[in-house]
Structure 1
Amino acid sequence: MATPRQHRTAARVPPAATPPRRERVAELVRRHPLACYLFLCFTLTWLAWTPYVLSDNGMGLLSFGFPEVLGSPQTLGMLPGAYLGPLFSAYLVITIAEGEPGLRTWARRLFRWRIGWCWFLLILLGVPAAQVLGTFFLPQAWETVQLPSISALLVYLPFLAVQVAFTGVAEEPGWRDFALPRLQHRHGPLAGTLILGLLWGAWHLPLFLTEWAGWPHVDPVQIIEFLVTSVVIGIPMTWVFNRTGESLPAVMLLHAGINNATSVLWLPMFPELDVHRDAQHALLITSAVISIALIAATRGRLGYQPPTNRHV
């Protein structure tokens, strides 16, 4: 039994100080950086995309439409959410969790251009060639194929630069520069890539309620095929990332090249095909063939080298 003196002594001991809310949030981010990145990435992007989804460019629940900028309403409807999600979320989480050392590692990958001209040549020529050749797996492609016009060839590189600045810069600093190294370190290159591909595909889901995916003519099969394609296409992207010494410009060029080849070359070459369905079929077939070859050739390692005493 405690004496009155002991009770008085115990009463004078101050309670343990509760950490301020900012400290608790920072500790949560430091302990779970990947989970915090994913939460912020999905939340910020989907909130920013909500007006686009509800507008006349989407479900039509709000009576306004986004004006065309650079030839498309998607520029204003989609890009703010794309930048705000992957890019800003990665920057914010790294700043809180790792500080300047982590930001330096992140930035080094972002500006790693010196990878050899052969890689850039492979991506510049290989991506459109693969997409066109993959389309010929579709029987109806042979009936309507046309040679690309001179104008399409002339605008290919300028439009590619725009795609890199928009799509590549907006998405890849988050998905490939931040998330991929952590997932590879935790789950291995193949499993980490498959997980990332599914998350990356799911991040696009609200856009299926907009003109981007052909709304309202969207069905569940189209959505499932897009998710599978996102998973499969991530395998060559991981291989390029790993084999170029984690060069983000190479991955941004690859990502932008896929989008650019579809809009600039594929559409005029196959005018009778459906860009929302047939182009997706062709991309899935092409990506699957390349991915199977890469998995077999690398035995599932995809060029991965485990990190040694550095931020991932």
Structure 2
Amino acid sequence: MTTLTAAPARPGLRGLIARRPVTVFFVLANLASWIAWIPYVLSNHGLGVWDVTFPGGPLGSQLLGVLPGAYLGPIASAALVTAVADGRAGLREWAGRLWRWRVSWRWYVGILLGVPAVFVLATLFVGGQAQVPSLMVLAVFVPGLLLQMITTGLAEEPGWRDFALPRLQRSAGPLGAAVIVGPLWGVWHLPLFLTQWGGGPDVAWYRPVEFIAVCVALNVVMQWVFNRTGQSLPMAMLLHVSINNFASVVWSDMFPGLSTDYVQHALLLGSSVAAGVLLVATRGRLGYDVTGRRAA
């Protein structure tokens, strides 16, 4: 009788990556981004320890100060870990989800109209009074959306949703994946709260905490969209950047009487309600089916 023996585990760092790819990814993503963000945090846009100001105003400082660390974190770490753990076949599968644009037009309409609608309703609920945005703001909305797709969306989503989420859903189920990815996604942003991006050194203590709560709730919604669209990464990216773009381009023009703290309050309310509805409606499955088919 022939007995089957398991293949010997690979030694060293490659073996560790193969055995614990998600853990290694989270560690690398944080380390790479946080180290790359040190100049931005120490500059005049942050703690002011280093007398350097990035050119180009708020947009230029974020492109030069934030974006390099964002690219070195989630997307670069996901590519490296996938290559080591799964080889070329794994890289093809990982990269393939980035090109899944062919989904029903209803998803595009639902995201592009649903995000502003929820955002506005949530802001009105927390005490805002809306006005019609100016034509100039509306004119830059689409260019801003496209810019964020290739900056924020491309830098983050190949890591959090494309790499981590499918693996964790297979091992921990959809609810387990939601509990893990959401908080870690939020924690990754924490050094930026020491900069202009998050309010600077004097930022109120509750803002980072509230932001992590937003990430937990929002991740549930993004997870459902990702699963229901056949794991289309562009749809997850579009949802992510639609929120960012509305918050940064349109919100202050529509609600001039509110402080920027209300952006986060509205996000927490809107994403929490949406996440709660989806968790109940899908009975915690969030569109995931272990067989690969889309669930409710």
What TM-score range do you get, normalising by the shorter chain? over 0.9
- In the alignment, structure 2 segments of 5+ residues that lack a partner are 1-9
Per-residue deviation, residues 193-246 of structure 1 (Å, max 9, x unmatched)? 121010000000000110111113312211111111110110110000000000
2:266 aligned residue: 282
1:162 aligned residue: 147
Compute the displacement of 1:69 (Å): 6.6
Percentage identity across paired residues of the two chains: 52
SS of residue matched to 1:201: helix
The answer on whether the counterparts of 1:58 and 1:211 sit within 8 Å (CA) in structure 2 is yes
**Residue 305 of structure 1 pairs with residue 293 of structure 2:** no
**Residue 211 of structure 1 pairs with residue 196 of structure 2:** yes
2:79 aligned residue: 91
Residue type at the aligned position of 2:21: P
1:172 aligned to 157, 164, 171, which one?
Answer: 157
The answer on whether the counterparts of 1:194 and 1:232 sit within 8 Å (CA) in structure 2 is no
**Residue 296 of structure 1 pairs with residue 284 of structure 2:** no
**Residue 55 of structure 1 pairs with residue 43 of structure 2:** yes
Matches within 5 A, 1:32-111: 32-68=20-56, 71-111=59-99
The answer on whether the counterparts of 1:69 and 1:75 sit within 8 Å (CA) in structure 2 is no
Distance 2:11 2:244 in 1: 42
Distance 1:250 1:75 in 2: 23
Residue type at the aligned position of 2:154: V
Larger-Rg structure: 1
Residue type at the aligned position of 1:119: W
- In the alignment, structure 1 segments of 5+ residues that lack a partner are 1-21
Compute the displacement of 1:187 (Å): 1.5
Distance 1:98 1:296 in 2: 35
The answer on whether the counterparts of 1:208 and 1:218 sit within 8 Å (CA) in structure 2 is yes
Per-residue deviation, residues 46-87 of structure 1 (Å, max 9, x unmatched)? 000001001110001111111127833111000000000000
Per-residue deviation, residues 27-47 of structure 1 (Å, max 9, x unmatched)? 111111111111110110000
TM-score by length of 2: 0.93
The answer on whether the counterparts of 1:185 and 1:307 sit within 8 Å (CA) in structure 2 is no
The answer on whether the counterparts of 1:294 and 1:302 sit within 8 Å (CA) in structure 2 is yes
